[in-house]
Amino acid sequence: MKYRRLGKSGVKVSEIALGSWLTYGTVTEKEQAIACVKQAYDLGINHFDCANVYGSVPHAAEEVLGEALAPYPRESYILTTKAFWPVGDGVNDRGLSRKHIVSEVEKSLRALGVDYVDIFYCHRYDPETDLEETLRAIDDLITQGKILYAGFSEWPAHKIAEGVRLQKELGLHKFVASQPVYNMFNRYIESAVIPLCDEAGIGQVVFSPLAQGVLTGKYKRGQQAPAGSRAATDQVKKFVERYLTDENLARVERLEGVAKELGITLPQLALAWVLRLPSISSALIGASRPEQIVENVKAVDVELDESVLEKIEEILKS
């Protein structure tokens, strides 16, 4: 495994991180989830992502991840959670108010079975809460030692800029992590989010680097999704379907040719492509089986030269 600094913070995270959305506490059996986390840890992954809403009910994925990580020394891994999305029907069961953030962090700590999380993310921007209220609540949680670092996920660029400016003005702890989607099919962060975050010392922990499995080559044009895959699982298939267009599947066929010429697999190519940017701190994968993690981590040893990157650009533009 290789490690990078999380933005300009001093903490180092593995280039490949493991998340639990749509898998642990949802469709993956607990034993299998624990086997995946063990495999990841044994391969040097030290960065594990979760959220209060992951799992079949709120905090379900956190319970599984907490149990899976329990055997390992707490200081040896970076554990994250998030809040924003609704966890109930109450008017305060959502958003980024001080009330909701504090009560959700408490519940997350209990579900994970830990005294602190390393990174707390604001899962989306909340237009119904004054930004200063959110930033002060996070700052207090950091001061109390319940969270060590903070970040945001998929905030619009101008709101990231406003948050960074306010934290500076008010002398609050600064954001160190941004968690947006980034893969060969979705590159929106390249234009505004990355330059802004680079300047502010915020690292990118990018989710769905394999486009939810489409960039592994297992989905083929005109064929049914393989049994057991996300696209063949009723509970979760709607999320991956957005990537399963004929155009993307045609690109995947050509990208597989590039991977083959390099003697690597398509997921390794897709992850090495994400990691080509120094602004990326971790590529945040999901895995339903330990073998997927074994295959994917090999991407950290793949260097893509200019001619390969140009070939990929040409395919992505086609």
Residue 175 makes contact with ligand NDP by CB under 6 A: no
Binding residues for ligand NDP restricted to 209-248, rule: CB under 6 A: 209-213, 216, 218, 229-230
- Residue 33 CA from chain centroid, whole number: 17
Out of 24, 41, 54, 182, the active site residue is: 54
Degrees, nearest 5: CA angle 136-137-140: 85
- Residue 83: beta bridge partners? 122
Residue 20 makes contact with ligand NDP by CB under 6 A: yes
Sign of the Cα torsion 266, 268, 270, 273 reads negative
Residue 25 makes contact with ligand NDP by CB under 6 A: no
* CA proximity to 213, closest of 194, 232, 199, 196: 232
Residue nearest to ligand NDP according to CB distances in the complex: 19
Residue 251 makes contact with ligand NDP by CB under 6 A: no
Segment interacting with ligand NDP, rule: CB under 6 A, options 94-102, 130-138, 286-294, 307-315: 286-294
Of 11 and 33, which CB lies nearer to ligand NDP in the complex structure? 33
> Closest approach of Cβ 171 to ligand NDP, in Å?
28
With CB under 6 A as the contact rule, the residue among 14, 167, 208, 279 that binds ligand NDP is 208
Per the CB < 8 A criterion, the answer to whether 217 and 252 are in contact is yes
- Give φ, ψ of 288 to 5 degrees: -100, -10
Of 210 and 252, which CB lies nearer to ligand NDP in the complex structure? 210
Per the CB < 8 A criterion, the answer to whether 19 and 45 are in contact is no
Residue 47 makes contact with ligand NDP by CB under 6 A: no
Site string for ligand NDP, 265-284 (x = CB under 6 A): --x----------------x
Per the CB < 8 A criterion, the answer to whether 285 and 16 are in contact is yes
Of 137 and 177, which CB lies nearer to ligand NDP in the complex structure? 177
Residue 97 makes contact with ligand NDP by CB under 6 A: no
Segment interacting with ligand NDP, rule: CB under 6 A, options 17-25, 34-42, 194-202, 250-258: 17-25
Strand ranges (E), the chain: 3-5, 12-14, 16-19, 47-49, 78-83, 117-122, 147-152, 177-178, 203-207, 280-285
Per the CB < 8 A criterion, the answer to whether 281 and 13 are in contact is yes
Amino acid letter, 3: Y
Using only C-alpha atoms, what is the Rg of the chain? Answer: 19
Residue 264 makes contact with ligand NDP by CB under 6 A: no
Residue 286 makes contact with ligand NDP by CB under 6 A: yes
Structure tokens at 100: 């909701």
243 is a catalytic site residue: no
Per the CB < 8 A criterion, the answer to whether 81 and 120 are in contact is yes
With CB under 6 A as the contact rule, the residue among 287, 299, 300, 308 that binds ligand NDP is 287
Residue 203 makes contact with ligand NDP by CB under 6 A: no
Residue 39 makes contact with ligand NDP by CB under 6 A: no
In the complex, which residues of this chain contact ligand NDP (CB under 6 A)?
19-23, 49, 153-154, 179, 207-213, 216, 218, 229-230, 267, 284-288, 292, 295-296
Active site amino acids: 54
